[in-house]
Amino acid sequence: MRTFMPSMRIFIDGKFYSERDAKVSVFDHGLLYGDGVFEGIRAYNGRVFKLKEHIDRLFYSAHALLLDIPMTHAELCRATVETIRANKLKDSYIRLIVTRGVGTLGLNPRSCKKPSVIIIAGKIQVYPPELYARGMDIVTVPTVRNLHSAVNPAIKSLNYLNNILAKIEANNAGVEEAVMLNSEGYVSEGTADNLFIVKKGALFTPPLSAGALYGITRATVIELAELSGLKVSEPNLTRYDLFNADECFVTGTGAEIMPVVKIDGRTVGSGKPGPLTKKLVAEYHALTQVSGEPI
């Protein structure tokens, strides 16, 4: 007997649609030009983790693009929760998208009269589960992080080609993630993750000024580390610092906390996920189970 899975319910501009009927116009500037912003959000155990912080960042990104989100902060929070409920999920990944909306084939954003809001709630597995136990290898790639004077890395926009090019280079090297440097040669971040190292019991992560994203998971890990009495600093880091770290890991909403055990062929520490990394993983997972907006 064949079992039919229920169709995903997708929020588009105030209404829910089935997967089959969820469509955007080919004239939407989010499609034509990557003109829009997005957030990736997680729900755990019936709670949306760091929802306010994610919606805050969405509004900051939109403001930087002169993109007026046609919903209030509170309305977006409610719509996110309602989308998860509509899909009967307790643990999920939520993709919240705001596009410039439908316009002409021309570049001018003034042709777009009304931005569009899309919310998708489903599942995601960024990295293979076995990598979390053994840690992963990463490489430095030639593609550098966007300049602040070009597309500011703080803007979480729909134009992710910079990251995609770096991801392609990581794939070509046979690894899942890459280290991206900025134009000055300092470590910025991964293709989709922030990066941390541990050295002599202290925690280090590149500064936001180096091109690192204002990561929600990054901020949470820093907070957990400081609560545990760990010294945390944000200096400019070089590849040399990564090679000689005692531990290394990357963080992201989808990835959570992923140990890194080899960088550009150099073994990090013991070559296995380190004790401070494991401690932060446990603390982070515990926090996600009890914190957040109830669904």
Residue 274 token pair: 């380190």
Amino acid at 47: R
Q: What is the DSSP letter of 65?
A: T
Contacts of 71 (CB under 8 A, 6+ apart): 79, 117
- What is the C-alpha to C-alpha distance for residues 290 and 168, in angstroms, rounded to an integer? 37
Whether residue 254 has pLDDT greater than 70? yes
Q: What is the mean pLDDT of the chain?
A: 96
Instruction: Tell me the average pLDDT across 257-276.
Output: 98
User: Looking at residue 10, what is its pLDDT?
Assistant: 98
Active site residues: 156
Give 124's pLDDT tier (boundaries 50, 70, 90): confident
CA-wise closest residue to 245 among 229, 262, 257, 230: 262
* Region at 47 (left for phi over 0; alpha for psi -120 to 50; beta for the rest): beta
Instruction: Tell me the average pLDDT across 118-134.
Output: 92
- What is the C-alpha to C-alpha distance for residues 166 and 146, in angstroms, rounded to an integer? 11
- What is the C-alpha to C-alpha distance for residues 266 and 269, in angstroms, rounded to an integer? 9
User: Looking at residue 126, what is its pLDDT?
Assistant: 86
Instruction: Tell me the average pLDDT across 18-34.
Output: 97
Q: How many CB atoms lie within 10 A of CB 104?
A: 12
Sort 242 into a burial class: Cβ within 10 Å, 0-12 / 13-18 / 19+: buried
What 3-state DSSP class applies to 93?
A: strand
User: Looking at residue 125, what is its pLDDT?
Assistant: 85
The structural domains of the chain, with segments of one domain joined by +, span 9-122, 129-290
Fold for the domain defined by 129-290: D-amino Acid Aminotransferase; Chain A, domain 2 (3.20.10)
Asked if residue 38 lies in contact with residue 158, where contact means CB atoms within 8 angstroms, the answer is yes
Amino acid at 157: S
Residue 208 token pair: 């936001």
Whether residue 1 has pLDDT greater than 80? no
Output the CATH code of domain 9-122: 3.30.470.10
**Beta-strand relationship, 177-181 and 136-140:** parallel
Whether residue 4 has pLDDT greater than 70? no
